[in-house]
Amino acid sequence: MSSPVPVVEVEDLRVTLRRGQAEVEAVRGVSLTVGRGEIVGIVGESGSGKSVLGLSLMALLPAAARPVVTGRIRILGTDMVGTTATADRLVRKKHIGAVFQDPMTSLDPTMTIGNQLAEVTSNRREVVRLLTDVGIADPETRLGAFPHQLSGGLRQRVMIALSLARNPSLIIADEPTTALDVTVQAQILQLLLDLRESRGCSVVFVTHDLGVAAQICDRIAVMYQGRIVESGDVDTVLGRPEHDYTKGLLASRIDLTTPRDRPILSAHGAGSGDALPAVWPAVVPGAPAVTIADARRTFSTGPFWKRRQLEAVRGVTLEIGQGESMALVGESGCGKSTLLRLVAGLDTPTSGSVTVAGDTGPQMIFQDAGSSLTPWLTVGELLGERLSAAVPGIRKPEADRRIAETLERVGLPAEVSRVKGASLSGGQRQRVAIARAVIVPPTVLLCDEPTSALDVSLAATVLNLLGRLRRELGMSVLFVTHDLAAARIIADRIAVMNHGRIVELGDAETVCASPTNDYTAALLSAIPGRELRQSHAAEHGDHSEERRA
C-alpha cells in the first residue's frame, strides 16, 4: 500500500488559537505521515489538540479563533500552510472528504439529503450510487427525506456518502461514532473499513475512544497537550504502551474485564483529591427505595383526527433496594429516559405506579453538566439554593459549613464556591452537579448518562466518586446509560431495556458474562476494541497480582 507521495505529510505543525483574550497553543510541533490506504487514529482527550489537528489538515480552523499556523502540511504533495483560501478550498474539493461527530447538525436541516448530495455530485444517478455504496437500502425513496427524518446511523451514512462524493484520497473523520448507539457504531466502523477496502482511500480517524481506535486503525498517534507523545502500529501502542499518558489512558478505560470490587485505577493522577478505599465495602440492599409496578407511559402524537399512540414504557416492574445501585441500559429510544423521568417525578405514568421511599425527593445528575448549572450563579449560590429549598430557614454559617463540607466530599477545593460554572472544566462541572445533588443526601440518586460526555479518565473518576458517595451516604442509585461497561462498574444489578420493556434483569457481572437475552448479547458484542480487551486483560491481571502481593 505504499506510494511515492504520502497522502498526508505533516512536519512540525504548530497552531495557535485565540480563546477569549488568551492565546492557546493547541498544536505544538506535530509531525505525521499517512500513507495511501492507511487508517491512522489520532487519539487523545478533550483539549489534547486532536480535533484542531484534524481541522488543520483541511485548513478549516474557525476564523473567529484567528488561527496562526506554522510548519508544513501537505496533502498529496500540495501545501496547505501559507496558501490562499481558494487554493485550500480546491484541495478540499479534490482530495478530502470530512465526516464530523454529530450528523444531525452537520447536515443542513432545511435541505433534503438528495439536494445536499446533489451539491457535490453531477447527477441523480451518482447520488443514488453513493447512497447504495454506504449501505442505505432503497436509496431512491430516501432522496426526499430531511436529516431529522432519518435515524442517527442513517444520517451518519449520508454524511459519509457526502464525503465520498468526489472520490477523495483522504477522509478525515472527527469522532464520527461518538454520538451513535453502540450497535450502530459497530456498523459505521465496518462501513469505513469496507470503503477503505473498495476505494483505497486513507482515513485520519480522530477519537477519544481507544476501543474504537483499536478496532479500525492501522496506526495510532496518541496526543497529549498538543503533542504526539507516542505513535506506531496499533498493536504496539496499545499492547505495549511506553509513554505514561498512554498507559494512563489504557488504565482508566473501562471495559468488561475491569475489576468491579475496587475503584478504577487511573495512572496519571486523575483520581487525586478523592480518598478512595482499596476495595469497595460490600453493600447490603435494604427495604425497597424505589418500587415500579407495571408502569406504562404512552404519548399521543399527531393531530386529533389521526392520533397515534407511542408507547415509550410498556409495563415495567422493578424494585431498587435502599443503598442498591441499579443500571438501566439500552439504546436511544428504548424508553430508559422516560422511565427515569417517571422515577424523578417529572412525569406520571399512564397506568401502573412508581413509588419512591423517603422524605427527600430523588435528585438528578445529567449528561451535560455544563448546561445544567445556571450560568449566572456561583457554585456556592447553586448549592445554597438547593440547601435552603430542602432545609427551610437554614442559617448562613451553617449553610456555608455544609457547602464547604460537600465540596470537599466531591473532591473540589473550597474556593470553587465563589466561581461560576463557565470557568470550571468539564470534570469539575460534573462534580459540582453531583455536589448539588448530594448536599442534602437523597434517598435515590438518578444519573442520566453522567459519564458519556466525559473523557475516559474523567469518566473513571466520576464513576469512582459516585461509587464512594453512594456507599458513604447510603443512597440508592438509578444509573441510565447506553454503556454496558460503565453499567457493570457502577451497578449491583443491570436492567436491559428494549422497546419499552425490560428484557433482562440480573446481577451486573452475570448479565455481562452470560447474557440470556439476544438483545443483551448483541449490545455486548458491539462494544468496540475486543482485541484491545484481550491484551488489556493480561495487563490487568498483572496489576491485580501486584496489588494482592
Partner 1 sequence: MIMFVIRRIASMLAVLLALTIALFTLQELSGVDPARAYVGANASAEALERTRVQLGLDQPAIVRYFDYLGGLLHGDLQNSLRTRTPVADGLSTAFPATIELALWALGLALVLGSIFAVLTVVRWKGAGVVRVVLLSGASAPTFLLTMLGLLFFYGQLGLLPSGGRSSYGSTSPGPTGLFVLDGLLAGRVDVATDAIWHLILPAACVAISPAVAIGRVLVDGLRINLVSDHARTARAAGMPEGLVMLRHAVRNSLGATLSMIGIQAGLLLGGLVVVEKIVSWPGVGSYLDKSVQASDFPGIAGVALLLGVTYVVLNTLVDLLQVAADRRIALS
3-state secondary structure of 493: strand
Nearest approach, Cβ of 485 to partner 1 (angstroms)? 29
Site string for partner 1, 105-144 (x = CB under 8 A): xxxxxxxx------xx------------------------
DSSP for 142-179?
HTT--GGGS-HHHHHHHHHHHHHTT--SEEEEESTTTT
Shortest Cβ distance from residue 51 to partner 1 (Å)? 12
Minimum separation from the CB atom of position 131 to partner 1 (A): 16
- One of 11, 25, 60, 239 touching partner 1 (CB under 8 A): 60
Taking CB under 8 A as the criterion, the residue among 41, 67, 97, 349 binding partner 1 is 97
Residues 264 and 278: their CA atoms lie apart, in Å, by 10
| Region from 99-107, 217-225, 266-274, 517-525 binding partner 1, contact rule CB under 8 A | 99-107
Residue number with CB closer to partner 1 (171 or 403): 171
Q: Kindly state the helix (H) or strand (E) to which residue 261 belongs, with its residue range.
A: none
Q: Which is nearer to partner 1, 302 or 541 (CB)?
A: 302
Contact between 199 and partner 1 by CB under 8 A: the answer reads: no
Stretch in the footprint of partner 1 (CB under 8 A) among 155-163, 319-327, 335-343, 499-507: 155-163
Cα–Cα distance for residue pair 429/71, rounded to 1 Å? 36
For the sheet containing 363-365, what is the strand order?
Answer: 363-365, 444-448, 476-481, 325-329, 493-498, 501-507
Residue placing its CB nearer to partner 1 in the complex, 61 or 494: 61
Determine which residue in the list 90, 279, 414, 422 makes contact with partner 1, applying CB under 8 A. 90
Binding segment for partner 1 among 103-111, 188-196, 386-394, 426-434 (CB under 8 A)?
103-111
Which is closer to partner 1, CB of 62 or CB of 77? 62
- Calculate the dihedral angle through the C-alpha atoms of 17, 22, 28, 30, rounding to the nearest 10 degrees: -20
Q: Which stretch binds partner 1 (CB under 8 A): 82-90, 424-432, 473-481, 524-532?
A: 82-90
Q: Give the cell for residue 494.
A: 443491570
Q: Which is nearer to partner 1, 97 or 139 (CB)?
A: 97
Query: How many chain residues bind partner 1 (CB under 8 A)?
Result: 36
Q: How far is the CB of 91 from partner 1 (least distance, A)?
A: 8
**Cα–Cα dist 35/8, whole Å:** 7
Buried b (16+ CB within 10 A) or exposed e, 414-447: eebbeeebeebebbbbbbbbbbbbbbbbbbbbbb
Residue 506 buriedness (CB in 10 A; 0-12 / 13-18 / 19+)? middle
Considering the complex, state which of residue 91 and residue 480 has its C-beta at the smaller distance from partner 1: 91
Q: Which three cell numbers stand for residue 209?
A: 475512544
326, 477 contact by CB (below 8 A): yes
Q: Binder to partner 1 among 40, 52, 159, 204 (CB under 8 A)?
A: 159
For partner 1, the binding residues (CB under 8 A) are 58, 60, 62, 64, 85-86, 89-94, 96-98, 100, 102, 105-112, 119-120, 146, 148-149, 159, 162-163, 165-166, 172
